[in-house]
Structure 1
């Protein structure tokens, strides 16, 4: 085989290099762009390289795309180090040699196509389509990949079909024995493991959630705060798995972050070492919008996508044929793959608009979503998330297989998850989605989307009343906002009663802006109180239009239920399943429109003390993207307790920061326990870590608030002193970007890579994977990193926060602050955020680290957020840098010498 004719290009904050077959040389940015435009070049993560060269649209032969084609459903850390590991090469010592590594790694990857490898099946078929799409790697692969002698099984012929099973019987009533729990825990922790009394006590306390319920609508609720290092995952899996085995029923373990879901799936290996048994008895469930929709994928493959998006569809099809679960968000699809395709359209490959036609789909029997739901019905442990649990309970989904026992890990997030779930928003974006769901494609719209009439044409032909209801709903939906609604609002020319209402909302919000936010480009909001005449006048026609819409929707739902009861001749099993799905979708949207009507009734009417209502114009960097009215529960734990906890037999709510640095009243209020008849059982276990010896908190006293150069300088000096391994947390994206722009090159000259959320074109999960993989790399970001990062060891040895994380002074926060005790409510939120951020630092017994707060305005009363015994010092920046250099930098230098 002839040597690769393509040069390789590598760019970092430290420089730019081109490697050919004979040499590697440093080049200027202009020369690199000229070479890349003249000839195909080998790149690693083209969007990232393009950003560093100041040319985001740069294209070439991206090694990540080649890897995704050859090894679908395999993960590789998308860095030179990760590429070297994946191809069995040695990582170069310097950035200057990385371009040569790219050429060598490409040769090794292309050599895979010369033979037989585990993911060979379907590759030739996919390559023919990619060739027609002018994929950059197609010519090189075509020289190596021979046509198979036998016809390949490709995606839709390769995927297995799920099978219907008889409904699972209700769980048996059992009482767990303490000795059995201890034996199960010992088995999970492994032979020879250290006996940890805190973990044993925790497991015994968690078992109370699995005891038989004594009163109707009064679950056995356990609130358990277990400090980091207790081992709470195995602590609750011991009684949970034992109960599932003895009662023959499922336990749903609900998390907030995808990182914990992955950790739980990994811990399942301890429960069931055999892979086939584990797959059968532990199932991960997510919302349907996380899974690839096979019908959407087929549409994309058959011409629904064009250009680069069509290439992505082919690579996703390769992945779907080998995926364990079809999960595109946090599953075995590499998170970096969609980010390689700007304006990629990957979200169009999932069911994000609730348009599933269920049994009417030709791929229904192979659907990943349906397979997961059926597998979960027969599993012992279902790993879910807070949002899915609440959606299923609130919308009556899967009521026949509703679990009776829950474990809510990361329980400190339940309040926020419930806040999002049980809220209502009458906005342009929300309204146009319902219009599209009812009407289907309008004008020149492409795609497979079908309106209500098309989806239920057989019902309309069979049932006159149902047909009339469909026609009336279609007619009423014309009053909802349509395409270019936001442009019309800006021009003062709304069309229809609902757009007129949104225009009045927009006008009032801008009129009441008092702090200059309109000029600053931030989102705007104001209370829904004392509305002006324009808003009151617009509310009446908008309410009438929505009432005209919701009435036929309710009538249609009832007629569909009647059709199911009649079971006409044309209704076979698939048709029944499709109509059942339509009933569920109708119910969801009927509830949504009903909530809108209640919100409109509030305009000019009395306030409901259970809710907080406001008006908002949502903007990003000055660009409006939505306008509307919003309603949130003042206490969202109330509907959570009513819909999820009350019907359950038992639940465990657990977290390392459940009390938010306060007392048990806080935990009970935010978990919904106060809304149950039976009091919750409380359990507390302090962390076994020696925080006095393993960590310190440094409060830097000489960084002036608002001094951006000083803030950037502080971050740079601290990261250099620690020699990387830093997680930097910001409360504002603008400051994050400004600091990154000032320090990235400076750190690169020290050999310290810097990653940044909202800057680097890489998804957050992959950023954390890269951060975890290199102890000299640092990562800066916002709130998502404060809660979703689990990086034990030296890769995370310092956390730096730009300031005290005070809550944003929104209308909603102001109402809850007033009801929750004023400044004490703010303090609870800040303590919880500080505790969660500090909790990223020490994850195991041999971790060492520093927590640095760049704010002299840190009140002493908030120091309770940190574990008891943690040393706290208020010091100037110079002293903080020296302390970090001596404690963390010296340790890294010592370990580097020992390794060498």
Structure 2
């Protein structure tokens, strides 16, 4: 295959306004580099400074370059008659076509281009980023440069060769299917996959790779076998029932564990059952971790967790950063599970911590524990792929299927041939993949169990089976709360649970013990049944497949046609309901609470009218769903039966969303209801939310009173040195009164007095009283001075997105003069996109909002200066916050002292925790909110930081002290380096 791989550098992103300033191209023939083309192009207007910064070009490179009128004909001659290729090729093609139009030329090449970005998304589905540099690094391709025309063209050509090697490893049938899907939108892409498929056939024929299996027309990675042939069947039989391998957790489990109190180890030795023995210098843990050190705090937490699990108590354990809390609860949990033959659940808030436990902490346990030990990570059902649905959606794709959906199916086909887990977290949900996933996800409502041809290989049931067999099951707060809400029909039976990142439990409970419905989700749910004017969707598919069927099947056609009309009618009523709710929201407001006064206004009547229409239709929809279930049971064709079940399940999903949408006016006095607007002014996204005002009672009755032991741990759980706040908010006050609640506070092993400095400038203006643009002027100058003193490596935490954006606009150019890069959340990308370049760039400033206050790890010199713009008080106007404050005031309590302040202190401590991450770290925290020293409550924040006394001084003095602190020798670092105690067990947790 012969291609011309090209790349353009431009002055911006808009072909109709911006200009080409560099063109580079290389001829690529069967993987070999041919002749090249390169030229700068003199622009007709000023080039933005950020373009010079991005590309490395200089004004001198362009001022003597030929104009586009000279360069363009030369380049068009170079590409004449060739097939074009590039990375994100459509972007460059749009600029090239715009240039041709302006100059009066015809493009002498096909507009169907080969895009290495598309190929990378399809062939490298496990990668989270697919920019050219990311793909080149993944493929082992060295880049001669970045964001330069010829350098990027050469890199893209080499990447295409590497991607061909990646594609050659795919099964022949998968390549054929990728060729078919590509042919529906890009013949050149189809030819490329066809060429790879032919080469694969010439070498291997149609034989499957050793790791793959095939059912019907879907090739997938064979799932590693579990003990016994009926594992999936056992898990399926339990699906939808109250799970539990046995009602009595002391009885023998099916995994073969004994219930004796003294268990033999792997080689017949008696199992060590005292967890504290693992935390001695000559223990297995000490031998497994060369840098291991004994920590009194870690030992104290081990003892407390052991007592809670053994004696059936609840525990709140605050463990400062660096304590090693994950090992401190995992070792007691593992020993307890083995000795008592009782499963222990570990619940986290973030996927990152789940990965750490599975891949690092548990791997350590396996090395140090002389015993059989199993762990399973279990996620919600919709996190797993349904292979039956993917096979059917793939088979139904045609020329009417939108290109983004076809690309999503191609990615899924490539992924399923390589994933043993089928877990959506493995994928980068870019483009339309998130929408398509809803059509192929595993769901209880659409599962046909043993009638499914993929049943024994089902990702969900395999994961569920592994969870039922495991000693420790790692899951997330969301799934635990869904399990509580469904009366324990989600997770396998457990009586002991450990919540890590427990400071998020109330927030998650508020969300999951209520209900919410989004206009976009409603449209997607309807789209699974009918879309594109009835041309696509499972109803259209069934109507087409049943059109030549028997008379009995013709009866189903009539019902399907009735169903299609009903679904579209419900969709219209949903649209009307959201439109009516939108009319209630004042201009410029993103959240609007529905109170009894609102429901008495004339505007509310339009919503009620839509509700009445939906209510009348829901009964009919559910009856039609039952009819489809019965038809599926009678149908001999398993494929059609599966789609009938899918259709019925999708109908119930639409009915459930309609039911939630109808609850806006009758949720009850213990719930708060509000409308939320996200998106842009031109394209707003609407949603309705229902949340409990108080989750304490629900958690008390469903969790703390029903489970023998619940352990809550985090680095930030106490306020003012006690746990009264979290105990009251989560429903643990009764357990405390009964003596069932233990508490423990383990300080961080870090020496904050020498490793950190806390500063409060006294001449900071009152930012709260200033507009975003006005505040940005002062902030930009101060952050500039701090960044200059620290050499970058600065993170500024904002509570206002508007102030963040304004500061970014004002600060970018001054920082550029210091050769310091600026990364601003929401301006330059999302959190996940900004963290890695910030880590890699030693001279950078990062401006972050809410999601940066916790959950990020920037050890060592990656971060030395932390700026807190304002104390993180939650907006009192949020509907849930407002409702809770009203209830506190009704009870005669101060909402500020009982809610706002404790919440802000916990958040503040989380933000501070971003700075010192290891024993050798050193850094400064600068707080631009004078309330911390002027307000009565300010000392509450200061006391929450261990052993730190603030430097209170004018801004100029603060900046000088910051410079001195960061430039003097780091004794902590030298000590840690000399003693070899940059400890391994420190970073576990």
Shorter-chain TM band: 0.7 to 0.9
- Distance in 1 between residues matched to 2:494 and 2:545, nearest whole Å: 31
> Over residues 691-743 of structure 1, what are the superposed CA-to-partner deviations in whole Å (9 max), with x where a residue is unaligned?
11111222344443232222233333333432232333222333333333333
Aligned to 1:794, the other structure's residue is in SS state helix
1:697 equivalent among 736, 744, 758: 758
Q: Specify the alignment match of 2:896 in structure 1.
A: 823
2:795 equivalent among 716, 727, 748: 727
Report the alpha carbon displacement of residue 130 of structure 1 after superposing the two structures with TM: 7.7
The verdict on how the C-alpha distance between 1:106 and 1:547 changes in structure 2, with shifts beyond 3 A counting, is closer
1:408 equivalent among 487, 492, 499: 499
Q: Specify the alignment match of 1:325 in structure 2.
A: 421
Is this contact kept in 2: 1:431–1:480, CA < 8 A? no
Is this contact kept in 1: 2:135–2:159, CA < 8 A? no
Is this contact kept in 1: 2:334–2:472, CA < 8 A? yes
- Distance in 2 between residues matched to 1:312 and 1:141, nearest whole Å: 19
- Distance in 1 between residues matched to 2:853 and 2:112, nearest whole Å: 34
What pairs up with 1:25-64 in 2 under 5 angstroms?
26=57
Report the alpha carbon displacement of residue 75 of structure 1 after superposing the two structures with TM: 6.7
1:758 equivalent among 808, 826, 837: 826
> Over residues 445-484 of structure 1, what are the superposed CA-to-partner deviations in whole Å (9 max), with x where a residue is unaligned?
5244789999999xxx99xxx99999999887676442xx
Report the alpha carbon displacement of residue 233 of structure 1 after superposing the two structures with TM: 0.7
Q: Specify the alignment match of 1:772 in structure 2.
A: 839
> Over residues 22-67 of structure 1, what are the superposed CA-to-partner deviations in whole Å (9 max), with x where a residue is unaligned?
98973779999979997799977889999999x9xx9998766665
> Over residues 165-200 of structure 1, what are the superposed CA-to-partner deviations in whole Å (9 max), with x where a residue is unaligned?
246743337779995212455544635521112111
Report the alpha carbon displacement of residue 587 of structure 1 after superposing the two structures with TM: 8.7
Paired residues in the alignment total: 833
> Over residues 644-677 of structure 1, what are the superposed CA-to-partner deviations in whole Å (9 max), with x where a residue is unaligned?
4443332211111112556311121233323658
Q: Specify the alignment match of 1:380 in structure 2.
A: 471
2:509 equivalent among 418, 424, 432: 418
- Distance in 2 between residues matched to 1:33 and 1:204, nearest whole Å: 75
> Over residues 408-428 of structure 1, what are the superposed CA-to-partner deviations in whole Å (9 max), with x where a residue is unaligned?
110000011011112234675
Report the alpha carbon displacement of residue 230 of structure 1 after superposing the two structures with TM: 0.8
Aligned to 1:236, the other structure's residue is in SS state helix
1:159 aligns with 2:218: no
- Distance in 2 between residues matched to 1:47 and 1:450, nearest whole Å: 32
1:149 equivalent among 203, 209, 225: 203
1:201 equivalent among 283, 287, 300: 300
Q: Specify the alignment match of 2:855 in structure 1.
A: 788
1:264 equivalent among 357, 378, 392: 357
Report the alpha carbon displacement of residue 870 of structure 1 after superposing the two structures with TM: 1.9
Report the alpha carbon displacement of residue 826 of structure 1 after superposing the two structures with TM: 1.2
Q: Specify the alignment match of 1:244 in structure 2.
A: 337
- Distance in 1 between residues matched to 2:647 and 2:487, nearest whole Å: 13
- Distance in 2 between residues matched to 1:778 and 1:51, nearest whole Å: 34
1:655 aligns with 2:714: yes
Contiguous gaps of at least 5 residues in structure 1: 214-219, 483-495, 511-517, 603-607, 896-900
Report the alpha carbon displacement of residue 205 of structure 1 after superposing the two structures with TM: 0.9
**What TM-score do the two structures reach when normalised by structure 1?**
0.76
Aligned to 1:531, the other structure's residue is in SS state helix
Q: Specify the alignment match of 1:491 in structure 2.
A: none
1:600 aligns with 2:689: no
**What TM-score do the two structures reach when normalised by structure 2?**
0.70
Q: Specify the alignment match of 1:610 in structure 2.
A: 670
What pairs up with 1:153-232 in 2 under 5 angstroms?
153=208, 156-160=218-222, 164-165=230-231, 166=234, 169-170=245-246, 171-172=249-250, 180-184=274-278, 186-188=283-285, 190-192=288-290, 193-211=292-310, 213=312, 220-232=313-325
The verdict on how the C-alpha distance between 1:351 and 1:717 changes in structure 2, with shifts beyond 3 A counting, is farther
The verdict on how the C-alpha distance between 1:663 and 1:203 changes in structure 2, with shifts beyond 3 A counting, is same
1:688 aligns with 2:749: yes
Is this contact kept in 1: 2:117–2:130, CA < 8 A? no
- Distance in 2 between residues matched to 1:349 and 1:470, nearest whole Å: 24
The verdict on how the C-alpha distance between 1:874 and 1:441 changes in structure 2, with shifts beyond 3 A counting, is same
Is this contact kept in 1: 2:6–2:84, CA < 8 A? yes
Q: Highest Rg: 1 or 2?
A: 2
Report the alpha carbon displacement of residue 794 of structure 1 after superposing the two structures with TM: 1.9
- Distance in 1 between residues matched to 2:180 and 2:493, nearest whole Å: 43
Is this contact kept in 1: 2:539–2:647, CA < 8 A? no
- Distance in 2 between residues matched to 1:748 and 1:246, nearest whole Å: 61
Aligned to 1:358, the other structure's residue is in SS state coil
- Distance in 2 between residues matched to 1:533 and 1:140, nearest whole Å: 61
Report the alpha carbon displacement of residue 239 of structure 1 after superposing the two structures with TM: 1.1
Aligned to 1:199, the other structure's residue is in SS state helix
> Which of structures 1 and 2 has the larger relative contact order (alpha carbons within 8 angstroms, sep 6+)?
1
- Distance in 1 between residues matched to 2:859 and 2:139, nearest whole Å: 22
- Distance in 1 between residues matched to 2:276 and 2:511, nearest whole Å: 38
The verdict on how the C-alpha distance between 1:852 and 1:527 changes in structure 2, with shifts beyond 3 A counting, is farther
Aligned to 2:423, the other structure's residue is in SS state coil
- Distance in 1 between residues matched to 2:439 and 2:965, nearest whole Å: 50
Aligned to 1:401, the other structure's residue is in SS state coil
Aligned to 2:422, the other structure's residue is in SS state coil
2:784 equivalent among 713, 716, 720: 716
Report the alpha carbon displacement of residue 124 of structure 1 after superposing the two structures with TM: 5.5
- Distance in 2 between residues matched to 1:208 and 1:559, nearest whole Å: 54
859-868 vs 586-595, which deviates more? 586-595
Q: Specify the alignment match of 2:256 in structure 1.
A: none
The verdict on how the C-alpha distance between 1:454 and 1:594 changes in structure 2, with shifts beyond 3 A counting, is farther
Is this contact kept in 2: 1:835–1:865, CA < 8 A? no
- Distance in 2 between residues matched to 1:853 and 1:49, nearest whole Å: 45
Aligned to 2:424, the other structure's residue is in SS state coil
Report the alpha carbon displacement of residue 629 of structure 1 after superposing the two structures with TM: 5.5
Contiguous gaps of at least 5 residues in structure 2: 14-19, 26-35, 41-56, 99-110, 213-217, 236-243, 252-258, 263-270, 889-893, 974-989
Is this contact kept in 1: 2:378–2:473, CA < 8 A? yes
- Distance in 2 between residues matched to 1:456 and 1:811, nearest whole Å: 50
What pairs up with 1:866-881 in 2 under 5 angstroms?
866-881=944-959
220-229 vs 775-784, which deviates more? 775-784
- Distance in 2 between residues matched to 1:647 and 1:471, nearest whole Å: 48
> Over residues 787-829 of structure 1, what are the superposed CA-to-partner deviations in whole Å (9 max), with x where a residue is unaligned?
2312322212222233222211223212212334322121112
Q: Specify the alignment match of 1:838 in structure 2.
A: 912
- Distance in 2 between residues matched to 1:713 and 1:59, nearest whole Å: 49
- Distance in 2 between residues matched to 1:655 and 1:430, nearest whole Å: 33
Is this contact kept in 2: 1:521–1:620, CA < 8 A? no
> Over residues 504-560 of structure 1, what are the superposed CA-to-partner deviations in whole Å (9 max), with x where a residue is unaligned?
5444443xxxxxxx2x46444453436334256557656655554565688899999
- Distance in 1 between residues matched to 2:967 and 2:113, nearest whole Å: 39
> Over residues 741-767 of structure 1, what are the superposed CA-to-partner deviations in whole Å (9 max), with x where a residue is unaligned?
333454345443333332235x53343
What pairs up with 1:622-661 in 2 under 5 angstroms?
622-623=681-682, 625-626=684-685, 630-660=689-719
Is this contact kept in 2: 1:435–1:477, CA < 8 A? yes
Aligned to 1:855, the other structure's residue is in SS state coil
The verdict on how the C-alpha distance between 1:633 and 1:400 changes in structure 2, with shifts beyond 3 A counting, is closer
1:805 aligns with 2:896: no
> Over residues 253-293 of structure 1, what are the superposed CA-to-partner deviations in whole Å (9 max), with x where a residue is unaligned?
2111222122222222212359xx99x93332223444445
What pairs up with 1:256-335 in 2 under 5 angstroms?
256-266=349-359, 267-272=361-366, 281-295=374-388, 297-298=390-391, 299=393, 302-303=397-398, 305-307=401-403, 309-329=405-425, 331=426, 333=427, 335=428
Aligned to 1:272, the other structure's residue is in SS state helix
Q: Specify the alignment match of 1:514 in structure 2.
A: none
1:253 aligns with 2:336: no
Is this contact kept in 2: 1:831–1:865, CA < 8 A? no
Q: Specify the alignment match of 1:486 in structure 2.
A: none
Q: Specify the alignment match of 2:435 in structure 1.
A: 347
Aligned to 1:719, the other structure's residue is in SS state helix
